[in-house]
Structure 1
Amino acid sequence: MALTIDETIEIDAPAEKVWEVLTDFGRYGEWNTFCYEAASTLEPGSPIDMKVQLGGNRRPQREWIRTHTPGVEFSYTMKPVPLGTLHSLRSHTVVPLGPGRSRYESRFTLAGWLSPVVTLALGKHLRAGFTAMTAGVGKRATEI
């Protein structure tokens, strides 16, 4: 069974500001307690290198940009493990709601026959991390 984590927040900031927060990777450490460091060109096929706090452990994570629509969305995926063992998709989407308001949509899916084991081991930490990051995006976008 796949693990899916959906987080959405409405933000009192324009979509452009939320997009700026999401793509200013050099400042992630100032507000993002889950993915505290990231770097990418966002070009599809290129890497996104991250450092994440998962439970009590800090670890590097390299994934690959899948889609990028400037100002709207970007997504990335892990390198699939052979034989359908494990694969993931992470997406960030910004939706304008009117003058000075927007919605940030965060989605993470982990699937494959090994996903129940990973969910058992890390699911609680992944949920907490994505929840904290979503809240952080909203807070940061209203502060800058």
Structure 2
Amino acid sequence: MSLVIDETIEIDAPAAKVWEVLTDFERYGEWNTFCYEASSTLEPGSAIDMRVQLGSNRRPQQEWIRTHTPGVEFSYAMKPLPLGALHSLRSHTVVPLGPDRCRYESRFTLAGWLSPVVTVALGKHLRAGFTAMTAGVGRRAVA
């Protein structure tokens, strides 16, 4: 059983502005209550180092960039656990809808035979975090 969190919003801002918000990692702490610190070159194979808030706990998180199409999308994944126990994929996609409007698509998938345990332990916090981040992207882009 996989945990899938899909969040999509339409934003009254140009796609380039939303992309700027998503990739300006130094300013995440100003608007992102879920992933309040991040750094990465976005080069596929390189690390993305993050600090995340899961409920009342703050913790470091390191994942690995899988894809990056500048201005359009980037994705990253955790280092899979052995024997298919746990693996993830997180993606951010910006779709232009006109010169001053776009859609931001956020997707997180957690799968593997340990995913039900993680879902019970952290699912509520992950859902709240991704929902808050998606809303934060929209607010920051139109500010």
| Pair 1:2 & 2:38 matched | no
Quote how far apart the aligned CAs of 1:8 are: 0.2
Deviations 1:34-55 (A, max 9, x none): 0000000000000000000001
Sequence identity, in percent?
A: 87
SS at the partner of 1:17? helix
Shift of 1:66: 0.1
2:113 corresponds to: 113
Q: 1:71-116 CA distances to partner (integer Å, 9 max, x unpaired)?
A: 0000000000000000000000000000200000000000000000
**Deviation for aligned residue 1:139:** 0.2
- Residue 28 of structure 1 aligns to a residue whose secondary structure is helix
Tell me, which stretches of 5 or more residues in structure 1 are unaligned? none
Q: What residue in structure 1 maps to residue 69 of structure 2? A: 69
Could you tell me which residue of structure 2 aligns to residue 133 of structure 1? 133
Q: Amino acid of the residue matched to residue 24 of structure 1?
A: D
Aligned to 1:13, the other structure's residue is in SS state coil
Matched, 1:13 2:16: no
Q: Which runs of 4+ in 1 moved over 3 A?
A: none
1:38 and 2:38 are equivalent in the alignment: yes
Aligned residue identity for 2:53: Q
2:87 paired with 1:87:
yes
**Counterpart AA for 1:40:** S
Q: Which amino acid aligns with 2:54?
A: L
Per-residue deviation, 1:26: 0.1
RMSD, aligned α-carbons: 0.2
Find the counterpart in structure 2 of residue 103 from structure 1. Answer: 103
